[in-house]
Chains A and B, each alone.
Chain A
Amino acid sequence: MVLEGDGTAVTAPGQFIDIKLDGRYLRRPISVHDADEGSITIIYKVLGHGTDDMTRYEPGKPLDVLAGCGNGFWMPTGKETPLLIGGGVGIPPLYLLAKKLIAAGRKPQAVLGFNSKEDAFCIEEFRALGCTVTAASADGSIGTKGFVTDALPAPDTYDCFYTCGPLPMLRALDAAIPAGIPGQFSFEERMGCGFGACMGCTIPVKGGYKRICKDGPVLAREEILWEK
């Protein structure tokens, strides 16, 4: 879905927008796929009533949106060669990240995981940016058969990583990637407000706790507490 309007409130890749839907009480947080001065693009999956409603929205319909929510991914500091790992609906925010990384002179490679070929999306868009893309699918219908962890490149080909996807995938990646490599993980959680007021999405981290909507959704690898 492409939203027309000022996209400059989105200041970092990995941020989300919080959309008010007709007849639904709470806003829906959806990650930003792409943004510029005149538009914000989102790619969403129908998971509940709200996203189902959105499929019936006609072009031109005005939407009440809070844009630029959350911290987003931060850029690497040196000359790193980043690896981007996305699973399903976790892939869209990595697209804007890839764009920014390439604009900053980095050469990111991407591993994108899907359930099967018919769910696959965005692969060509990443390639068009200049990313090396490896796909993985649970049923083997596209790319490597298995999960993203089965398609990871050799650890000496990247020195930092960014990831977004379902929690089991994030957990598996933390276990699979050598401990010395810094990473940024984007988390998903049920939210109340989406801007840090209600404490509805707080999780414990090393040395305290963080609101996924305001202090996240992106957490640094070293601060994450995996045991739940």
Chain B
Amino acid sequence: MGEVRENRLGVTLCGIELDNPVIPASGTFGYGREFAELYDINILGTFSFKGTTKDARLGNPVPRIAETSCGMLNAVGLQNPGVNHVVAHELPEMKRFFHKPVMANVSGFSVDDYVYTCEKLDKEPQVGWLEVNVSCPNVHGGGMSFGTDPKAAAAVTRAVKAVTTKPVILKLSPNVTDITEIAKACEDAGADGISLINTLLGMRIDLKTRKPILANTTGGLSGPAVFPVALRMVYQVARAVSVPIVGMGGIASAEDVLEMMMAGATAVEVGAANLVDPFACKKIIEELPAAMDKYGINTLQELKG
């Protein structure tokens, strides 16, 4: 709006100020602990913690990971200790090393699952946003099936909004014909923001065994390979909805951040890059001012619109 910002990297996401727009993406940052051992993660805008479900999940059998050109496939399958464990153990521990509002990533297999988990996390003081994942490609009978049907995505949104007070961001799947239709359905149902994209469904075959590398056969593609697809979808969704957008998909540099924000993202998530270089987000944040100077960008706020 018109306010003067001391911090040229600062952005506002659904009413909450971020020191910078860089957010490690869910599933690549755990609950923060492994990275807090390496650097002070309070330099981040925030982070989106590991996708949490009503009950604990072991996830899929191994192998869960396959390399690709310029990226990777994963089929982890939402391994997490369950929301009650997260509330009782992960969040109290997180408070010791992370002192900002955190983004709570939630997944489920029924509308009731989403409601149960979101209602619990909404009550946690450190949770700033709920990022509702209707797009996990690696679980059966849930996840992505809610994100490929506008009516189902709207139903999840409406049900979660009814039991929560914090901003609800719907995380969408790119594995659809028209992502703007889903985004609009979520916005109409009350979503406070949209994040995109989750991974693109893919697979690889082991030439020696002639069988799929992943035990789950298929997995989600992420990494720099998906960046142009993600950018295109963020651009389309930004023109279809008026709520803020968190853009993600293959971001690996400060320049990628600027490009994603020019496409219409208010903030960005960085995923696979964290797995290749645990310091990736730190480096991106440190490189942002110089990249902005290079392209004549005074504040990140001015990129919006």
Q: Are A201 and B62 in contact (CB under 8 A)?
A: yes
A26 surroundings in chain B (CB, below 8 A): 65, 67, 72, 275-276
Task: Judge whether B71 is part of the interface by a CB distance below 8 angstroms.
Answer: yes
Bitwise interface map of A from 167 to 199 toward B, beta carbon under 8 Å scored 1, else 0:
000000000000000000000011111011111
Q: Are A196 and B65 in contact (CB under 8 A)?
A: no
* Closest residue of B by beta carbon distance from A24: B67
B58 surroundings in chain A (CB, below 8 A): 202, 204, 209
Whether A25 touches B67, Cβ cut-off 8 Å, given contacts A66-B278, A197-B30, A199-B59, is yes
Q: How large is the interface on B (under 10, 10 to 19, 20 to 34, 35 or more residues)?
A: 20 to 34
CB interface residues, A 188-228, toward B, < 8 Å = 189-193, 195-204, 209, 214, 228
Task: Judge whether B63 is part of the interface by a CB distance below 8 angstroms.
Answer: yes
Bitwise interface map of A from 118 to 159 toward B, beta carbon under 8 Å scored 1, else 0:
000000000000000000000000000000000000000000
Q: Which B residues are within 8 Å of any A CB, using their own CB?
A: 27-30, 34-35, 50, 58-59, 61-72, 74, 76, 79, 213, 223, 272, 274-278
22 A–B contacts, CB within 8 A, in A order? A24-B67, A25-B68, A26-B275, A27-B276, A64-B277, A189-B62, A192-B64, A192-B65, A192-B72, A193-B275, A196-B34, A197-B28, A197-B30, A197-B274, A197-B278, A198-B27, A199-B30, A199-B64, A200-B76, A201-B64, A209-B79, A228-B61
Closest 10 CB pairs of A and B: A193-B275, A200-B65, A190-B63, A192-B65, A196-B34, A199-B79, A26-B67, A200-B64, A199-B76, A192-B275
A214 surroundings in chain B (CB, below 8 A): 34
Task: Judge whether A20 is part of the interface by a CB distance below 8 angstroms.
Answer: yes
Query: Of A20, A24, A190, which one neighbours B64 at CB under 8 angstroms?
Result: A190
* Closest residue of A by beta carbon distance from B69: A25
Bitwise interface map of A from 24 to 50 toward B, beta carbon under 8 Å scored 1, else 0:
111100000000000000000000000
Q: What is the CB-to-nearest-CB distance from A117 to chain B, in angstroms, rounded to a whole number?
A: 25
Q: What is the number of residues of chain A that contact chain B, defined by CB distance less than 8 Å?
A: 25
B72 surroundings in chain A (CB, below 8 A): 25-26, 192
Q: Are A190 and B66 in contact (CB under 8 A)?
A: yes
In the bound complex, what is the Cα–Cα distance between A193 and B30 (angstroms)?
Answer: 12
Q: What is the CB-to-nearest-CB distance from A52 to chain B, in angstroms, rounded to a whole number?
A: 14
Q: What is the CB-to-nearest-CB distance from A49 to chain B, in angstroms, rounded to a whole number?
A: 9
Q: What is the CB-to-nearest-CB distance from A168 to chain B, in angstroms, rounded to a whole number?
A: 15
Q: Are A202 and B278 in contact (CB under 8 A)?
A: no
Query: Of B34, B62, B66, which one neighbours A197 at CB under 8 angstroms?
Result: B34
* Supplied contacts A193-B274, A195-B278, A197-B35, 9 more A-B pairs, CB within 8 Å: A25-B67, A25-B71, A190-B62, A193-B275, A196-B30, A197-B34, A198-B27, A198-B76, A214-B34
Q: What is the CB-to-nearest-CB distance from A187 to chain B, in angstroms, rounded to a whole number?
A: 10
Whether A195 touches B64, Cβ cut-off 8 Å, given contacts A25-B69, A25-B276, A202-B79, is no
A189 surroundings in chain B (CB, below 8 A): 62-63
Query: Of B65, B79, B223, B277, which one neighbours A191 at CB under 8 angstroms?
Result: B65
* Closest residue of A by beta carbon distance from B274: A197
* Closest residue of A by beta carbon distance from B75: A200
In the bound complex, what is the Cα–Cα distance between A65 and B63 (angstroms)?
Answer: 23
In the bound complex, what is the Cα–Cα distance between A146 and B106 (angstroms)?
Answer: 52
Q: Are B65 and A20 in contact (CB under 8 A)?
A: no
